[in-house]
């Protein structure tokens, strides 16, 4: 019998599919016979002043709408993963950041020796000044000879040549300005800064190391607030969702789906996430679809690479049949429940349970609305025995509520966040 984990870290029974009703009934009958108990004789004694019928608590089944506990294993990812590289070649002269800490956008991470880039910048400024001076001279020459054309003191060609010289000088200024901009950027790129708020990784180069621009990876920067959680339902899961929705067994809201994240120890992350991405195609290697949820992570509970559980909050099971967990018995032929049939006699029904809601199983088949399921007193009954049924009190079921609940309480998080 397979025993998977429940949300609170406790164990729950995964009720297998029952193949035959007669096997469970035969087992119950054999157990009675093995104890030397004769049902007919017992009934005779009870009717002749013997033991009265066994008292049992009975739940009259009523369909309900309950949350659908749809969970998947997920992995945490940074919302932005940036590889920090230098755009210029040079020697590292400063590395002021502390590895593994949070930094703000614009924080200086590395400083490359700026001597060469600064010299290039100054040279470009000089070329711009030269081009600007030549442009001014060409403009004055054009302004001087243009009025002389009306007086026929100069030829038209002289004016055209002056105009061409002025236009060329303006183009030289524009080219020189481009050279200044490039040189200024190279000079600025000597300071390697954080492009986003995030957590900086390990430093791959130390002071004095020479790096090649655009090639060497200096460090990484991960933005973890907000943060992503990726999980992968199978194509069978997706098909089952569609069937259940079409059959009105499952309802889904039209707005964004909300999810909660559960840590490896069963602790629920306080922040609620939303489903923000669904891949249009399935992965051919695994037959799964990639889904991604986004949630706030200001307290840095989640870290990239962490394995978690993801549970949908907005799926609802309609017309669900629920019975307390202890009402479901396990036999050689599978799972079954005792029911009160006509004349208060015990019957037996094979069942299949797919999931849980609080301390109750959700039964997929075997029980319908109006059936009377025996919850307590099953140790002293057998198929065909006459019983004295009393109503089951859900509110007073303290024993049942000791079973795993839907969601463990979310504690405060006195965690080390990595901030300094």
pLDDT of residue 52: 87
Both 299 and 289 in one domain: the answer is: yes
Q: In angstroms, rounded to a whole number, what is the distance separating the alpha carbons of residues 231 and 77?
A: 11
Both 164 and 236 in one domain: the answer is: no
7 located within any domain: no
β-strand pairing of 71-85 with 217-231 = antiparallel
Both 91 and 189 in one domain: the answer is: yes
Interval 297-315 mean pLDDT: 92
Burial of 411 (0-12, 13-18, 19+ CB in 10 A): exposed
409 located within any domain: no
CATH code: domain of residue 299: 2.40.30.170
Could you please report the per-residue DSSP string of 295-344?
A: E--TT----TT-EEEEEESS-EEEEEEEEEGGG-EEETTEEEEEEE-GGG
Nearest-CA neighbor of 347 among 310, 327, 380, 374?
374
Q: Which residues of 219-256 are buried (b: 16+ CB within 10 A; e: fewer)?
A: bbbbbbbbbbbbbbbeeeeeeebeebeeeebbeeeeee
3 located within any domain: no
CATH code: domain of residue 147: 2.40.50.100
Q: In angstroms, rounded to a whole number, what is the distance separating the alpha carbons of residues 247 and 71?
A: 21
pLDDT of residue 16: 38
360 located within any domain: yes
The answer to whether 51 touches 42, Cβ cutoff 8 Å, is yes
391 located within any domain: yes
Burial of 82 (0-12, 13-18, 19+ CB in 10 A): middle
Q: What is the pTM of this model?
A: 0.66
* Domain-ending residue, one of 195, 222, 249: 222
CATH code: domain of residue 59: 2.40.420.20
The pLDDT tens digits for 35-69 are 334 444 444 444 445 678 999 999 999 998 888 87
The pLDDT tens digits for 174-230 are 999 999 999 999 999 999 999 999 999 999 999 999 999 889 999 999 999 999 999
Both 91 and 118 in one domain: the answer is: yes
Both 97 and 210 in one domain: the answer is: yes
Q: Which of 33-42, 80-89, 135-144, 328-337 has the lowest mean pLDDT?
A: 33-42
pLDDT, greater one: 266 or 356: 266
Both 96 and 217 in one domain: the answer is: yes
Both 210 and 297 in one domain: the answer is: no
CA distances from 194 to 14, 39, 212, 223, 306 (A): 50, 81, 19, 11, 24
Both 172 and 252 in one domain: the answer is: no
pLDDT band for 316, please (50, 70, 90 cuts): confident
The pLDDT tens digits for 106-161 are 999 999 999 999 999 999 999 999 999 999 999 999 998 888 888 888 888 888 88
φ, ψ for residue 30 (rounded to 5)? -65, -35
287 located within any domain: yes
Which of left, alpha, beta for 100 (phi over 0: left; psi -120 to 50: alpha)?
Answer: left
Residue range of the domain that includes 52 = 21-67+317-402
Q: In angstroms, rounded to a whole number, what is the distance separating the alpha carbons of residues 302 and 300?
A: 5
> Is residue 5 pLDDT above 80, yes or no?
no
β-strand pairing of 198-200 with 217-231 = antiparallel
* Domain-ending residue, one of 178, 201, 222: 222
pLDDT band for 232, please (50, 70, 90 cuts): very high
CA atoms 298, 302, 305, 308: torsion sign: negative
Both 25 and 95 in one domain: the answer is: no
Both 137 and 52 in one domain: the answer is: no
pLDDT band for 414, please (50, 70, 90 cuts): very low
4 located within any domain: no
pLDDT band for 397, please (50, 70, 90 cuts): confident
pLDDT band for 253, please (50, 70, 90 cuts): confident
Please tell me the total count of domains within the chain: 3
* Domain-ending residue, one of 188, 222, 256: 222
Both 259 and 351 in one domain: the answer is: no
β-strand pairing of 54-60 with 387-391 = parallel
12 located within any domain: no
pLDDT of residue 401: 54
30 contact partners, CB below 8 Å, separation of at least 6: none
Could you please report the per-residue DSSP string of 229-257?
A: EEE--BHHHHHHHHHHHHTTSEE--SSPP
Burial of 353 (0-12, 13-18, 19+ CB in 10 A): buried
Both 248 and 232 in one domain: the answer is: yes
């Amino acid at each position: 019998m397979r025993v998977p984990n429940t949300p609170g870290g406790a164990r729950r029974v995964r009720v297998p599919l029952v193949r035959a009703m007669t096997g469970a009934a035969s087992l119950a009958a054999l157990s009675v016979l093995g104890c030397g108990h004769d049902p007919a004789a017992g009934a005779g004694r009870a009717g002749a002043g013997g033991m009265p019928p066994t008292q049992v608590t009975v739940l009259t089944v009523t369909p309900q709408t309950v949350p659908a506990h749809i969970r998947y294993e997920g992995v945490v990812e940074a919302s932005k993963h940036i590889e920090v590289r230098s755009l210029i070649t040079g020697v590292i002269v400063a590395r002021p950041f502390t590895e593994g800490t949070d930094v703000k956008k614009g924080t200086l991470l590395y400083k490359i020796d700026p001597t060469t880039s600064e010299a290039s910048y100054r040279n470009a400024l000089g070329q711009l000044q030269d081009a600007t001076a030549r442009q001014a001279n060409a403009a004055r020459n054009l302004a001087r000879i243009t009025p002389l054309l009306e007086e026929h003191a100069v030829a038209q060609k002289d004016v055209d040549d002056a105009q061409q010289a002025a236009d060329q000088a303006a183009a030289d200024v524009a080219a020189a300005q481009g050279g200044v901009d490039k040189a200024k950027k190279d000079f600025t790129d000597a300071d390697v800064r954080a492009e986003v708020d995030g957590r900086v990784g390990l430093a791959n180069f130390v002071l004095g190391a020479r790096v090649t621009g655009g090639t060497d990876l200096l460090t990484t920067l991960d933005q973890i607030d907000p943060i992503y959680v990726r999980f992968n339902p199978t194509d069978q899961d997706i098909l089952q969702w569609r069937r259940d929705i079409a059959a009105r067994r499952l309802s889904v809201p039209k707005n964004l789906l909300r999810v909660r994240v559960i840590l490896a120890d069963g602790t629920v992350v306080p922040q609620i996430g939303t489903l923000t991405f669904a891949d249009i195609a399935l992965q051919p290697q695994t037959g799964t679809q990639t889904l991604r949820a986004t949630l706030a992570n200001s307290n840095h509970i989640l870290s990239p690479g962490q394995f978690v559980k993801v549970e949908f909050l907005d799926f609802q099971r309609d017309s669900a049949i629920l019975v307390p967990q202890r009402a479901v018995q396990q036999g050689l032929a599978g799972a079954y429940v005792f029911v009160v049939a006509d004349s208060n006699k015990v019957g037996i029904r094979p069942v299949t349970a797919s999931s849980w809601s609080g301390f109750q199983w959700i039964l997929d088949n075997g029980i319908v609305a109006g059936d009377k399921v025996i919850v307590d007193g099953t140790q002293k009954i057998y198929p065909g025995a006459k019983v004295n049924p009393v109503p089951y009190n859900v509110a007073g079921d303290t024993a049942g509520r000791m079973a795993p609940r839907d969601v463990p309480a979310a504690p405060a998080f006195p965690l080390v966040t990595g901030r300094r």
